[in-house]
Structure 1
């Protein structure tokens, strides 16, 4: 430690070591402007299957809408830990990722990480029909998409990730029952993990609800579709397989194919198909519903 004997003769400040010492001996930082002090914590290096949080690697617009849920971890010292794969799909795989600050373990949260594949490793059906009416911002990317070059395949994966990200943000802001979108980084979307008693919520198709709950579920799906139609959009691929049953609450997932009801020439067909798929599932379980009646009701909301 520097002593007063080491200071130059023309040092302009009085040397009062007890007034400037920090630590257990003094218990304070007397004489130091608080603006020049800060808390310091050390962190160990991350291990296998871990990475430093990517929260600060993305631009603010690539983070979820505000106000954010209290469970979102925004600490710079947080670590993301891979917990394993949750599900595989046609166009993407979903993993579980824990984000936690080692100095604040009680704030740890497990999220679903959806990672899109490039077109060499996915089989997204009817992709062209869903993409009609969408625009690609950069002409170079648009040309690459048309040529289906290597870069085009990378762009395509990113476009589908962005499409789902935009849909999640839009629907969450509308108040629709969708997972909270935490952030997007390239082809990876981190979002709320929907659970029941600490386990992944089952798909609606896996449930056998009693009649009262079945009727409540249908009302929720109808309200979800009406909310979208009022905003001029259609899910486009809705079925009992991309709706989660979180107790008595339904949450809709898998949203990259959201289409404009009017701007997409297939918009009306997609809406009718959503109605047909949903009503077919509920009718098979004894609920008296009609897809044409539902379609007409939704069209009344649209215009």
Structure 2
């Protein structure tokens, strides 16, 4: 009996021992596992919590009228500090309330994100069209200075393959979300970018007291004092863009909202990096000329809304002159 006990305590493996010829072979998962301290890391705790939350949510039925559960957890999330009104609870559901705007490159919907019997908020859901339907007009100049790490992706974009067109669509969404996040963080007049999930952006919905979307600058006929105030707001906003080395890229009175008396610049997928894009200064000059022309057409004196003077000022702010 003693000999058997000694053998069991020996260092022979299952395959080394002749006395165990009929024993099972080691399975693929019998390999030694890495040593652990017995405690979960913070990342593992977060992952397990996500799994539990997702499993719980999957078992629930969507509230009446809701299109989906909140996509917050799986998205690229907006900058801190997050506004108090934003609902980030994973138990929230999204309900589409209607179409706010349609366009060649993207459609914008109004979404209510609400926790059943709890808090809610309104968001503008901007959804870029698929590569098969988008027109991608005039995109070559805007894409200058934007580079992807994979050469295959760059070739697909250059050749405008189906895969490449879809990459461009996502590039627009990524560029807009990134620019909005940077600009909002320094106090620029842009809506809060709540999240990005693929080619969908969820943004702060700017509305008037009646709950309607804030009007575009082009719809207004401001009096002289208000016009001058709005121009000064615009100059301040463009200076903040220049601080970040950016220009809107397609600025006009149709891409500016007036919310509670304050200008808010929207529609930034074609935002241009003034340094990385060789045509950056030209895009800036065009932006300024377009919007200054609108203000002059509404009665602002030419010596106030002088595009050459403002362009030079912004180039200096951006460190390019």
TM-score of the superposed pair, with normalisation by structure 2: 0.77
- Contact persistence 1:43–1:77 (CA under 8 A): no
**Structure 2 residue aligned with 1:280:** 293
Q: Given that residues 118 and 156 in structure 1 are in contact (C-alpha distance below 8 angstroms), is that contact kept between their aligned partners in structure 2?
A: no
- Aligned counterpart in structure 2 of residue 143 of structure 1, from 146, 155, 158: 155
1:190 aligns with 2:202: yes
Match of 2:169 among 149, 152, 157: 157
2:275 corresponding residue in structure 1: 262
**Candidates 214, 239, 244, aligned match of 2:257:** 244
Match of 1:299 in 2: 315
Contact 2:62/2:68 (CA < 8 Å) preserved in 1?
no
Q: Per-residue displacement from partner, 1:45-82 (whole Å, max 9, x unpaired)? A: 34555101111122xxx101111001111112100011
Contact 2:177 2:201 in 1 (8 A): yes
RMSD, aligned CA: 1.8
Q: For 1:108-187, what aligned pairs fall within 5 Å after superposition? A: 108-187=120-199
Give deviations 1:127-148, integer Å, cap 9, x for gaps.
1101101101333322222232
- Is 1:57 aligned to residue 74 of structure 2? yes
Partner of 1:80: 94
Residue 134 of structure 1 aligns to a residue in which SS?
coil
State TM-score, norm by structure 1. Answer: 0.81
What does residue 232 of structure 2 align with? 219
The answer for the alignment partner of 1:209 in structure 2 is: 222
CA distance in 2, matches of 1:157, 1:237: 17
Compared CA separation, residues 124 and 247, structure 1 to 2 (3 A): farther
Distance 1:278 1:255 in 2: 15
Match of 1:97 among 104, 111, 135: 111
What do the CA deviations read for 1:116-169 (whole angstroms, capped 9, x no partner)? 012332234321101101101333322222232222222111111111111110
Secondary structure at the aligned position of 2:73 is classed as coil
Cα distance between partner residues in 1 of 2:62 and 2:103: 33
* Structure-1 separation of matches of 2:130 and 2:168: 7
Structure 2 residues without counterparts, runs of 5 or longer: 1-55
CA distance, structure 2, for counterparts of residue 300 and residue 155 of structure 1: 34
Number of matched residues?
259
